[in-house]
Amino acid sequence: MEEQQATTAQEVSGIALSMRVPPFWRDRPRLWFIAFEAATNDLKRSEAQRAQMVIAQLEKEDIEQVCDLLYDPPAENQYTVLKERLVSVYEESDGRQLQTLLSDMELSDQRPSQLLRRMRTLARNKVPDNTLRLMWMNLLPPHVRSVLVVSDTISKDTALDELS
């Protein structure tokens, strides 16, 4: 009876976990790992078990990127090695992120605050706020920019988050 209850508890735990962990996000691998680690934080699993949990969320294309690690798993730090590989394969390089920040940003249908968050993500603390401020303001529509420039409540010392 106790064995059956333990099995049922494990099944329920597995179902609950699968509901909390989304499929792997190729376009935002670092962010996916943050979500994965938050969902699995209280499970107290080994590196190998966490690696298996990640593998279960991958599609064929992703598994092909790490198949050498699956055929011959590292003796230690299986989860960490798998995470580093997936992030390195799918995340844009720093150079590409900076290029996107400099030339491919536009407001489109985003809110100014959303645009600023995206720009900060790409800048990764490598671009100072005063430079980000100039870049961000140049992407705003002219009528919004003119309001920000002439407003008495806004100065060069106003925090960028407040402006957005």
Check residue 151 and give its pLDDT: 64
Phi, psi of 155 (to 5 degrees): -130, 180
Contacts of 132 (CB under 8 A, 6+ apart): 116, 119, 120, 123, 160
pLDDT at 87: 93
Residues of the chain with pLDDT under 70: 1-19, 151-158, 163-164
Which pLDDT does position 13 carry in this prediction? 52
pLDDT at position 12, please? Answer: 47
Q: What pLDDT sits at residue 72?
A: 93
- At 158 the pLDDT is 67
Its pTM stands at 0.60
Distance from C-alpha of 21 to C-alpha of 54, rounded to nearest angstrom: 9
Gap between the Cα atoms of 74 and 80, Å rounded: 10
Q: Under 8 Å CB-to-CB from 143, ≥6 apart: which residues? A: none
3-state secondary structure the chain: CHHHHHHHHHHHHHHHHHHHCCCCCCCCHHHHHHHHHHHHHHHCCCHHHHHHHHHCCCCHHHHHHCHHHHHCCCCCCHHHHHHHHHHHHHCCCHHHHHHHHHHCCCCCCCCHHHHHHHHHHHHCCCCCHHHHHHHHHHHCCHHHHHHHHHCCCCCCCCCHHHHC
pLDDT of 104? 76
In the chain, the percentage of residues whose pLDDT exceeds 90 is 30
